Amino acid sequence: MLSVTLLEYTRDSQKLVASAAKLCYSDKKVADLSAGISAESASEFVDMLSEMGHESPMEHASFTFGIDGVSRSLMAQITRHRIASFSVQSQRYVKASEFEFVTPPAIETDEEAKVEFYAAMENARKSYAKLSDILVKIQKERLLRDGVSEEKADSMAQKIAIEDARYVLPNACETKLIVTMNARELKHFFLLRCCNRAQWEIRGLAFQMLKLARRVAPELFKNAGPRCVSGDCKEGKMSCGKAKQMRGIYLNDIDSI
């Protein structure tokens, strides 16, 4: 089950962003830049930056999220956002004999599809376990022939075996990751992934991340969300046609949803 935590973030990020922007137009020393910036003026400065499209100062503020209960399919999508740092639970080193999995809502709500899907997950578990056992035996025999002690061969064979056994694991496998993005990249992430055309799982993740980010940096993320929230939809004939509804969600208190 999806769980998102804001692990760390730049404190007073809005003042930092305002200071960085102010530097571009000031002859003051860097250490003196923030002296005259109040919370109110920082908010106004951030608003002005957004209106001007001068977003590079936002890159100085970063946000780190802990994410549990998402699929390997989602991981393939989120890692396409390249201006970010990712740490992911490894299937090379973490045995997945009893892996949890993410079930798409369309499958969860149809009994026939659900039975088929759960059977596929169980078959994957069995294949993974059987392959692991076969590969452990192969690797242990090889290590013993190479003169490795039996105790060490046991341990090494287990680790080597799951490297290859993982190839039968499905995209639905749950994983965990820690993600760090700067504020500018986060806004871009929300622009793409909060859109109704985004895949359902990453859209749900983006919505939860936005709620957490807006809670600690409301001015930075005030108009964040899909493109239609702050401008025109660019999806053309693929548009969901729900711009008004989306603005109602994202420009109000999304914490209450």
Domain ranges of the chain: 3-89+174-226, 105-168
pLDDT computed for residue 231 by the predictor: 86
pLDDT computed for residue 55 by the predictor: 84
pLDDT computed for residue 22 by the predictor: 75
Q: Which among 166, 193, 214, 227 is annotated as catalytic?
A: 193
Which class would CATH give 3-89+174-226?
alpha beta
To the question of pTM greater than 0.85 for the whole model, the response is: yes
**Residues 6 or more apart in contact with residue 87 via CB below 8 angstroms:** 177, 178
Pick the closest to residue 60 from 26, 7, 8, 10 (CA basis). Answer: 10
Pick the closest to residue 49 from 8, 13, 10 (CA basis). Answer: 13
**Residues 6 or more apart in contact with residue 37 via CB below 8 angstroms:** 15, 18, 19, 22, 45
pLDDT computed for residue 42 by the predictor: 74
| Residues 104, 85: Cα–Cα separation, whole Å | 27
- Does 193 qualify as catalytic in the annotation? yes
pLDDT computed for residue 47 by the predictor: 77
pLDDT computed for residue 15 by the predictor: 85
pLDDT computed for residue 256 by the predictor: 75
**Mean pLDDT for each consecutive 10-residue tract of the chain (257 residues)?**
96 86 72 70 76 84 98 97 96 94 98 98 98 96 95 94 97 97 96 96 98 93 91 90 91 80
pLDDT computed for residue 27 by the predictor: 64
pLDDT computed for residue 41 by the predictor: 72
**DSSP element (H, E) containing 201:** helix 200-216
Question: Would you say 129 and 162 are in contact if contact means Cβ atoms under 8 Å apart?
Answer: no
